[in-house]
Each structure stands twice: as C-alpha cells, then as structure tokens.
Amino acid sequence: MKKIHVFVSGASGKMGQEVIRSILKEDDLLLVGASDTRHQGMDVGFVVGAPRVGIDITGPVDLEILRSSRADVLVDFTNPQSVLKNSKTAIMAGVVPVIGTTGLDETEIGEIRTLIEKEEVGAFLAPNFSIGAILMMRFAREAAKHFPHVDIIEMHHDQKLDAPSGTALKTAEEIMEVREPIVQGHPNEYEKIPGARGADLGGIHIHSVRLPGLIAHQEVLFGGLGQALTIRHDAFSRETYMPGVILSIRKSSGLTDLVIGLDNFLD
C-alpha cells in the first residue's frame, strides 16, 4: 500500500499537534515533515507527547523544505498572516495544500485559484473540518427555505484572530443561495452602540463571541410566526475535527483543482 506523505505546517499549535497525533495513528499516512516558528530542531514526537518519530520541526515553509520532504499534501494550521504564502509555496512545490486556517478573503482565494491553473496542482480549503458542523450548515440551508429570518451566533476561544468565523460565513452563504436578501427587524430600528446588531451579510446578522473557556460553537436562530427554530453545533475538543482532517488528506492527495468545503467529500 502506497502511503500518502503528509507535511504539517503549524505543528506546534494546538490544532497542529492534534493533527500530528492523528496522522501517526493511520496506517496509510506517513508524516514526512513539520514546521513552526516554535520548537525548531526538536523531534515532533516529543512536542506532541509521543515517542521520537525522527522528524525535526523546521522553520517556515519554503520550496526546498517541501520538495526535499517529498510530501503529497501540506496540512496548514498556522494563522491568517501565513496561510496564503504557505499555500502558494506548496502548490509551486507540487504539493496539495489542505487549508485549515481561516481568514483568506476572496482576492486571496482568487490568487490560489490562478496559481492552481498555472501549476496544475490542486488545493482543498475547509471553513470547518467537523462533520457535525457540515451537517449543521446543511440543515440550516434547508430550514432557510421555510424560515427566511435568521441570525447566526458563533462563539470561539479568545485566541481566535478572525471574525466572523469561516463557518459562520459559509453558513450565511449557504442560506443566501436559497433565499433572497431581506431586511430583518423593524425598518426604523437603530443601533445605540455601533455593531449592536452584528455584521450584516445579505440581511443575515452575524454575531461573534470571543471568550476564554470556549472552543468552537455556533447557533443558527430562525424566527417565524409564533415559533422559533435553533440549530446548534458544539465542538468540545480539537479531536472533533480529526476525522474530517484525515478524510480531507486522503481525498485531496492528487487534486488538480480547488475544492472548498468538506461537504464535497461526504457524498
């Protein structure tokens, strides 16, 4: 059995460590490299609390590091400031990036798409790797056909840099595909404090909460005549995302185009 060679960027972070622990458990995956600004030169096994694996953490991702690793897939859980550079470097090295870092805007995604067409190396971008979160978005899309008035509340730990979350934006986009933009609330309402009603995307108000103790949570609130419907997903640990990450690695190896969303791999 040919194993898929995996390089992990952001290896010292909480998500990166969880990804590495998961990869080490899979018979068809082989960890061939890891990078981070922290723990450089240290065996990645020691960083994640496992026995020595013979892979030292290197500095920032570059073409030479990726090519010498002979990676098939780069899993990126770094930060919004690094993800675009890492993804483009991977594509130029002939490595498919599996992008778990959120924060890319449409212009940056366009840059990745253009590079994919030039290099004929694909990429996978996931706003959320949780299978439960994907189902939440599917259910919200279906509910919006019957309940057009909706608010989204997303809640994350206070170290998350971007707001709203990629999952909240993806949920709103899914809803907007099945309902027309509308003005919610009283037409003459006003905010005593700017931002009190949250961000507005196509008439959907999105509220971002950042507090210590939280991991990742989202509520999609629908209101109708005499009734309300709430669809909620909670992630209580980073293990929540690992089945989706492993599935994405397997499905992304050999991609030649851009795929956005784990739902593309579930059917």
Catalogue the active-site residues. 156, 160
Q: How many angstroms separate the CA atoms of 259 and 264, rounded?
A: 8
Residue for token pair 């933009």: 181
Distance CA 120, CA 241 (A): 28
Per the CB < 8 A criterion, the answer to whether 97 and 90 are in contact is yes
Residue carrying structure tokens 């991609």: 255
* Contacts of 136 by beta carbon, 8 Å cutoff, 6+ apart: 171, 218, 220, 231, 232, 233
Q: How far apart are CA 43 and CA 22, in angstroms?
A: 16
CA dihedral 152, 113, 100, 43 (to 10 degrees): -170
Question: Of 99, 75, 119, 61, which Cα lies nearest the Cα of 257?
Answer: 119
The one-letter amino acid code at 190 reads Y
Q: State the Rg of the chain over Cα.
A: 20
Q: Which alpha helices (H) appear in 151-227, and where do they start and end?
A: 166-176
The maximal CA–CA distance of the chain, rounded, in angstroms, is 65
CA distance 68 to 136: 40
